Amino acid sequence: MIPFPREPLAVAPRPPRPPLPAVFYRALVGLLLFAFAVTILIPVVPLFITDRLGATEQWIGTATLILAFTAVTSRVPTGTLSDRQGRRRWMLIGALLSLVASAFYFASHSIAVFLLARIGTGAALGIFTTASKALSADLAPPSRRGEALGLNNAAFSVAGIFSPLVGEGLKNALGFEAVFVLSGALSLLALVVTYTLPTDRPDVSESNGARRDTALALRQRGTWAAILLIVGAGALLTLMFTFYPLLAERTALYDDAPHLLAAVAMGLGLSIWSLIDTVIEPVAGRVSDAVGRQPVALPGLVIAAAGVVLLSRATGTVGAYGAIALMASGWGMVRAIADAIAQDAIPPALRGIGTALLYTSFDLAIGIDAQLLGGMIDGANFDTFFTATLALFLGFGTLGFLLATRLRTYTAPQVAPASIDPVC
Is the domain of 338 the same as that of 257?
yes
Is the domain of 238 the same as that of 369?
yes
Query: Residue 168 region, left (φ>0) first, then alpha (ψ -120 to 50), else beta?
Result: alpha
Output the pLDDT for position 235: 92
Domain end call among 164, 199, 234? 199
- How many domains does the chain contain in total? 2
What is the number of alpha carbons within 13 Å of residue 117 lying toward its C-beta? Answer: 23
95 pLDDT more than 80: yes
- 73-82, 178-187, 342-351, 375-384: range with lowest mean pLDDT: 342-351
Beta carbons of 391 and 372 less than 8 angstroms apart: no
Closest CA to 33 of 127, 211, 158, 207: 158
Is there a domain that residue 42 lies in? yes
Q: CATH number for the domain including 31?
A: 1.20.1250.20
Domain end call among 168, 199, 230? 199
49 pLDDT more than 60: yes
Output the pLDDT for position 410: 63
Output the pLDDT for position 188: 97
Residue 9: pLDDT band with limits 50, 70, 90: very low
Is the domain of 80 the same as that of 165?
yes
Is the domain of 259 the same as that of 328?
yes
Beta carbons of 261 and 364 less than 8 angstroms apart: no
Is the domain of 219 the same as that of 135?
no
Residue 419: pLDDT band with limits 50, 70, 90: very low
Is there a domain that residue 114 lies in? yes
Dihedral in degrees, nearest 10, Cα atoms 358, 364, 365, 370: 150
Output the pLDDT for position 407: 77
Closest CA to 234 of 119, 138, 326, 363: 363
Is the domain of 175 the same as that of 322?
no
Mean pLDDT computed over 356-362: 87
Query: Can you tell me whether residue 381 is helix, strand or coil?
Result: strand
Instruction: Tell me which of 406 and 165 has the higher pLDDT.
Output: 406
Residue 378 phi/psi, 5-degree rounding, is -120, 90
**Type of residue at 333:** M
Is the domain of 120 the same as that of 150?
yes
Q: Terminus-to-terminus CA distance in the chain, angstroms?
A: 49
Q: pTM of the predicted model, to two decimals?
A: 0.75
Is the domain of 231 the same as that of 192?
no
Query: Can you tell me whether residue 53 is helix, strand or coil?
Result: coil
Is there a domain that residue 419 lies in? no
Element of type H or E holding 112: helix 111-139
At CA 160, angle to CA 154 and CA 161, rounded to 5?
Answer: 100
Is the domain of 40 the same as that of 172?
yes
Domain end call among 199, 221, 243? 199
Each residue's pLDDT tens digit, 292-329: 899 999 999 999 999 999 999 999 999 999 999 999 99
Each residue's pLDDT tens digit, 130-148: 999 888 888 888 788 888 8
Q: Which of 68-77, 254-263, 328-337, 355-364 has the highest mean pLDDT?
A: 328-337
Closest CA to 333 of 310, 307, 315, 371: 307
Mean pLDDT computed over 236-253: 82
d(CA 48, CA 176): 7
Is there a domain that residue 2 lies in? no
Q: Go through the chain and tell me how many residues it has.
A: 424
Is there a domain that residue 325 lies in? yes
Closest CA to 163 of 244, 43, 332, 281: 43
258 pLDDT more than 50: yes
In 239-375, which residue ranges form alpha helices assigned H by DSSP?
244-250, 265-291, 294-313, 317-344, 351-374
Is the domain of 182 the same as that of 239?
no
242 pLDDT more than 90: no
Query: Residue 282 region, left (φ>0) first, then alpha (ψ -120 to 50), else beta?
Result: alpha
**Type of residue at 329:** S
Output the pLDDT for position 423: 42
Is the domain of 213 the same as that of 188?
no
d(CA 152, CA 122): 19
Is the domain of 194 the same as that of 234?
no
pLDDT cut 90: percent of the chain above it: 37
Domain assignment of residue 297, given as a range = 209-405
Mean pLDDT computed over 373-399: 90
Mean pLDDT computed over 15-43: 87
Enumerate the β-bridge partners of residue 87. none
Is there a domain that residue 85 lies in? yes
Angle between the 383-403 and 294-313 helix axes, to the nearest 10 degrees?
Answer: 180
Is there a domain that residue 415 lies in? no
Instruction: Tell me which of 150 and 233 has the higher pLDDT.
Output: 233
The separation between CA 80 and the C-alpha centre of its own chain, rounded to angstroms, equals 19
